């Protein structure tokens, strides 16, 4: 069944027939998981832990194949980056969930109003939602799928996972491997063959989690609304870094450029643009050149990741061309080494002197392009960022605690890393998610467990209840009681 969608041949039938076949295959898979959920709606602690262990084994026992498949999809993906961002991060999250799960699953005691309900008890039971749908992008396909599955399985759910059209080699590998670790009633993977995502988002899941662009996120949300399916959206955006002139500039540069070149900048929480104090503009450029010369002497190295596809490479080239044509200063930090269209390797670029009509100002770059804005005082930064869509992340670099808190208080973002970038995402005991146009909802750690659970309130009535004395017809006694309670509680 996992391969039912994969094996369809769009050239062999009209588009409407293919769409019906895809919908039928997905619905069959969904119904199988729905029936499995209804037969065993609340898996116990040990079953959930075993599911998490199986998830970890699926990754660890097939590590080389998985890393190689990701690299094949990219053209070249640094093995070290895959190990760091895909494998280590996921394993940490799974291990933490296994350790904490018993505590997370315990019913929670809640306060009871003893004035009206003496002897009653309140409890909140975390229970599985049922069948969840995960729509995964190509940039960190294992991290995003397995970290979301960690929350879904910890909460006791079944899951269907739709992979990206840019993750074909990995999708086919996961489709092949999955039955060794999970029955189809628990977990199924789907390759994007064209039209799968549309039909997938129309299934009546109990929750859909989508990671990707804002435009596609809106379409997913619209499809989900037809079934009143709740959604969690992680959408990215233009995340700023701010360098306080009193912060060591060299340290800020090395930390910002490390994450900017990581995965060739193709990270939703990456630094999209940086505010540099107007007195440090030239020093910032020079230190960026020095860092790249030392750490990326040749972009054709296997340690430097390719842009995912030709369309994305062209988009980045067009972004730079648009900036140049409209008067921006574009700095290739690799000097004379140009981008390589054949291998889709692109040097890290700085773009300065930008104006509001440039593409680089208005679109998430999602690549190794860093826009540089200068500022004179913090209010200029706050005004500019608050004039844009709320970002997925904020990165203040400062040793001044009051200034740091000012930025955190005055600029709303999905998350924050102080004096570095990106690494709040790697904390498995911290919620991760956007706000407004950068997303909604959270996952990771306990918040992920809650997201994939129905936190179900249950009130237990006592043997004796005073409510029988307050039933209609309302007499003098009921009037006195209600009048007293209004005054007492007021």
Domains of the chain (ranges, CATH numbers): 10-235+443-454 (3.40.605.10), 239-433 (3.40.309.10)
383 burial level (CB within 10 Å; 0-12, 13-18, 19+): exposed
Q: What is the predicted pLDDT for the residue at 282?
A: 98
Active site residues: 234, 268
Q: What is the predicted pLDDT for the residue at 349?
A: 98
Q: What is the predicted pLDDT for the residue at 464?
A: 84
pLDDT tens per residue across all 490 residues of the chain = 444 454 445 455 566 777 889 999 999 999 999 999 999 999 999 999 999 999 999 999 999 999 999 999 999 999 999 999 999 999 999 999 999 999 999 999 999 987 778 889 999 999 999 999 999 999 999 999 999 999 999 999 999 999 999 999 999 999 999 999 999 999 999 999 989 999 999 999 999 999 999 999 999 999 999 999 999 999 989 999 999 999 999 999 999 999 999 999 999 999 999 999 999 999 999 999 999 999 999 999 999 999 999 999 999 999 999 999 999 999 999 998 999 999 999 999 999 999 999 999 999 999 999 999 999 999 999 999 999 999 999 999 999 999 999 999 999 999 999 999 999 999 989 999 999 999 999 999 999 999 999 999 999 999 888 788 888 998 888 898 888 888 877 7
Dihedral sign, Cα of residue 214, residue 217, residue 218, residue 219: positive
Nearest to 204 by CA among 136, 101, 131: 131
Please count the CA atoms within 13 angstroms of the CA of 396 that sit on its side-chain side.
24
Specify whether the CB–CB gap between 342 and 116 falls below 8 A: no
Q: What is the predicted pLDDT for the residue at 5?
A: 53
Q: How many whole angstroms separate alpha carbon 132 and alpha carbon 128?
A: 10
Q: What is the predicted pLDDT for the residue at 447?
A: 96
Nearest to 417 by CA among 398, 435, 441, 436: 398
Q: How many whole angstroms separate alpha carbon 145 and alpha carbon 1?
A: 19
Is the peptide bond between 286 and the residue preceding it cis, with omega within 30 degrees of 0?
A: no
Rounded (5°) CA angle 436-439-441: 105
> How crowded is residue 99: how many other Cβ atoms within 10 Å of its Cβ?
10
Specify whether the CB–CB gap between 309 and 344 falls below 8 A: yes
Cα separation values, 42 from 31, 37, 98, 132, 320, Å: 18, 8, 17, 15, 53
Specify whether the CB–CB gap between 298 and 340 falls below 8 A: no
Q: What is the predicted pLDDT for the residue at 6?
A: 46
Q: How many whole angstroms separate alpha carbon 237 and alpha carbon 272?
A: 8
Nearest to 446 by CA among 97, 146, 49, 108: 97
* Structure tokens, 369: 């392009």
Q: What is the 3-state secondary structure (H, E, C) of the chain?
A: CCCCCCCCCHHHCCHHHHHHHHHHHHHHHHHHHHHHHHHCCCCCHHHHHHHHHHHHHHHHCCHHHHHHHHHHHHCCCCHHHHHHHHHHHHHHHHHHHHHHHHHHHCCEEECCCCCCCCCCEEEEEEEECCEEEEECCCCCHHHHHHHHHHHHHHCCCEEEEECCCCCHHHHHHHHHHHHHCCCCCCEEEECCCCCHHHHHHCCCCCEEEEECCHHHHHHHHHHHHCCCCCEEEECCCCEEEEECCCCCHHHHHHHHHHHHHHHHHCCCCCEEEEEEEHHHHHHHHHHHHHHHHHHCCCCCCCCCCCCCCHHHHHHHHHHHHHHHHCCCEEEECCCCCCCECCCCECCCEEEECCCCCCHHHHCCCCCCEEEEEEECCHHHHHHHHHCCCCCCEEEEECCCHHHHHHHHHHCCCCEECCCCCCHHHHCCCCCECCCHHHEECCECHHHHHHHCEEEEEEEECCCCCHHHHHCCCCCHHHHHHHHHHHHHHC
């Amino acid at each position: 069944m996992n391969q039912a969608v994969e094996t369809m041949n769009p050239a062999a039938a009209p588009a409407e027939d293919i769409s019906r076949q895809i919908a039928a295959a997905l619905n069959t898979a969904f119904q199988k998981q729905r029936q499995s959920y209804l037969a065993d709606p609340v898996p116990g602690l040990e079953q959930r832990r075993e599911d998490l262990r199986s998830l970890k084994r699926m990754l660890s026992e097939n590590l080389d194949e998985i890393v190689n498949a990701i690299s094949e999809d990219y053209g070249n993906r640094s093995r070290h980056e895959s190990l760091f961002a895909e494998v280590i991060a996921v394993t940490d999250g799974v291990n933490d969930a296994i350790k904490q799960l018993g505590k997370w699953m315990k019913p929670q005691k809640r306060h009871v109003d003893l004035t009206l309900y003496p002897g009653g008890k309140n409890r909140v039971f975390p229970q599985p939602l049922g069948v969840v749908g995960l729509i995964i992008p190509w940039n960190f396909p294992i991290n995003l799928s397995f970290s979301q599955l960690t929350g879904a399985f910890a909460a006791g759910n079944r899951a269907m996972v739709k992979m990206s059209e840019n993750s074909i080699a990995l999708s086919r590998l996961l489709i092949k491997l999955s039955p060794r670790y999970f029955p189809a009633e628990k977990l199924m993977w789907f390759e994007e063959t064209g039209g799968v995502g549309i039909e997938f988002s129309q299934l009546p899941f109990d929750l859909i989690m989508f990671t990707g662009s804002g435009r596609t996120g809106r379409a997913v949300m619209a499809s989900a609304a037809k079934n009143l399916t709740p959604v969690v959206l992680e959408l990215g955006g233009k995340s700023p870094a701010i360098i306080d002139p009193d912060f060591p500039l060299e340290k800020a540069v090395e930390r910002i450029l490390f994450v900017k070149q990581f995965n060739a900048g193709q990270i939703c929480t990456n630094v999209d643009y940086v505010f540099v104090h107007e007195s440090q503009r030239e020093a910032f450029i020079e230190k960026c050149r020095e860092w790249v010369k030392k750490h990326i002497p040749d972009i054709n190295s296997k340690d430097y990741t390719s842009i995912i596809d030709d369309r994305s490479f062209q988009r980045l080239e067009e972004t730079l061309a648009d900036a140049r044509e409209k008067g921006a200063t574009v700095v290739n930090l690799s000097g004379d080494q140009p981008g390589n269209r054949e291998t889709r390797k692109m040097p890290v670029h700085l773009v300065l002197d930008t104006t509001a009509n440039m593409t680089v100002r208005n679109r998430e770059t999602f690549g190794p392009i860093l826009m540089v804005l200068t500022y004179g005082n913090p209010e200029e930064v706050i005004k500019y960022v608050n004039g844009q869509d709320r970002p997925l992340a904020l990165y203040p670099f400062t040793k001044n605690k009051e200034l740091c808190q000012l930025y955190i208080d005055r600029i709303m973002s999905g998350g924050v890393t102080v004096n570095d970038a990106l690494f709040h995402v790697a904390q498995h005991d911290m919620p991760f998610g956007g706000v407004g146009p950068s997303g909604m909802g959270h996952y990771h750690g306990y918040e992920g467990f809650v997201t994939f659970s129905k936190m179900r309130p249950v009130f237990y009535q006592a043997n004796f209840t005073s409510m029988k004395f307050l039933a209609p017809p309302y007499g003098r006694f009921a009037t006195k009681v209600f009048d007293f309670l209004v005054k007492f509680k007021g």
